[in-house]
């Protein structure tokens, strides 16, 4: 995780770079022959001005990507919770799923749900006379946030958090689904409030409880299970941070990254050579 060789000055983008002594902690310093400025191997990276060793940061991120809670990851990596959250946000800010206008010729669409934060939840009305507990309403709770998901047979995907709560209406589904699937493609989905969203596509609609639904909806069900696993492990995710976790999940799914080592090899260049410092105020 340390940069030891510079092809050019990180400030000028050109110029000869030579070694120029070391820091008190032993880190190598460099000097630009053109502008005379000195810098270390962490200049213009997310590790700039960090007092935490790179090994601790890598261990913390590896535990997070393998499903450990952030509190446990920080404890095992010997970093504070505040520092752990900071580097998690830096990591999420540098990861984004692939940009594509249309999904493939065979696609699947479905919604999954995440629990809203406690301060946003509304208690149900009505108390049972026999048990003294609140009566459970039929249908989907209004305390759940919808997440709109889609995959195709080429390995591409998307996951977007909704604006409302509970079962989404036609207009909200239209906002997140329309334009994602190319005209003439085949879209498989369960029964929902889709209306004419998939107009121009061949639709295969099935009941989720039917016998054939397992085979027809298997690709999208596998993807939504990955999304659900994240929210089962990392509890109390704020609404504004849900999309950041979804982007990481989509990135790993699209690039077929199942372990942290594969993920780290893929994005290490983006982290170290991104040219972004990403201070706390930036994220």
Q: Which residue reads 């696609």 in tokens?
A: 107
What φ, ψ does residue 174 adopt, rounded to 5°? -65, -40
Q: Are 145 and 159 in contact (CB under 8 A)?
A: no
Burial 114-142 (b: 16+ CB within 10 A, else e): bbbeeeeeeeeeeeeeeeeeeeeeeeebe
Query: CA 65 to CA 103: how far, in whole Å?
Result: 26
Query: Between residues 47 and 78, which one has the greater pLDDT?
Result: 78
Of 256 and 138, more confident: 256
List, for residues 102-156, the tens digit of each pLDDT value: 888 999 999 999 887 766 666 555 445 455 555 555 555 778 899 999 999 988 9
The DSSP code for 30 is E
- Summarised one tens digit per residue, pLDDT across range 212-234 is 888 899 999 999 998 998 888 88
pLDDT, tens digit, for every residue of 79-93?
888 888 888 887 787
Q: What's the rounded Cα separation, in Å, for the pair 54 and 57?
A: 5
pLDDT of 119 reads: 65
Q: What 3-state class would DSSP assign to 197?
A: coil
Q: Of 188, 244, 231, 235, which Cα lies nearest the Cα of 213?
A: 188
pTM to 2 decimal places: 0.75
43-64 pLDDT, tens digit each: 666 666 677 777 777 788 778 7
Query: What's the rounded mean pLDDT across residues 244-266?
Result: 76
């Amino acid at each position: 995780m340390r940069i030891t060789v510079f092809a050019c000055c990180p400030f000028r983008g050109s110029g000869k770079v030579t070694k120029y002594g070391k820091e008190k902690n032993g880190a190598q310093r460099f000097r630009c022959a053109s502008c005379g400025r000195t810098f270390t191997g962490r200049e213009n990276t997310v590790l700039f001005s960090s007092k935490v060793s790179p090994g601790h940061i890598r261990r913390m991120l590896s535990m997070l990507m393998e499903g450990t809670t952030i509190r446990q990851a920080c404890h095992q990596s010997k970093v504070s919770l505040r520092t752990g959250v900071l580097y998690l946000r830096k990591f999420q800010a540098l990861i984004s799923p692939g940009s594509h206008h249309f999904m493939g010729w065979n696609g699947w669409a479905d919604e999954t749900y995440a629990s809203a934060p406690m301060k946003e939840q509304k208690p149900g009305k009505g108390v049972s006379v026999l048990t003294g507990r609140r009566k459970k309403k039929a249908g989907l709770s209004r305390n759940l946030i919808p997440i709109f998901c889609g995959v195709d047979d080429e390995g591409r995907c998307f996951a977007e958090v909704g604006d409302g709560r509970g079962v989404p209406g036609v207009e909200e589904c239209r906002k997140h689904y329309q334009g994602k699937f190319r005209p003439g493609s085949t879209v498989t989905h369960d029964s929902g409030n889709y209306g004419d969203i998939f107009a121009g596509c061949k639709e295969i609609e099935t009941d989720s409880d039917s016998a054939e639904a397992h085979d027809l909806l298997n690709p999208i069900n596998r993807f939504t299970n990955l999304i659900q696993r994240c929210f089962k492990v990392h509890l109390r995710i704020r609404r504004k941070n849900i999309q950041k976790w979804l982007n990481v999940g989509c990135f790993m799914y699209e690039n077929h990254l199942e372990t942290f080592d594969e993920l780290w090899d893929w994005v290490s260049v983006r982290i170290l050579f991104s040219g972004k410092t990403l201070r706390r105020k930036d994220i």
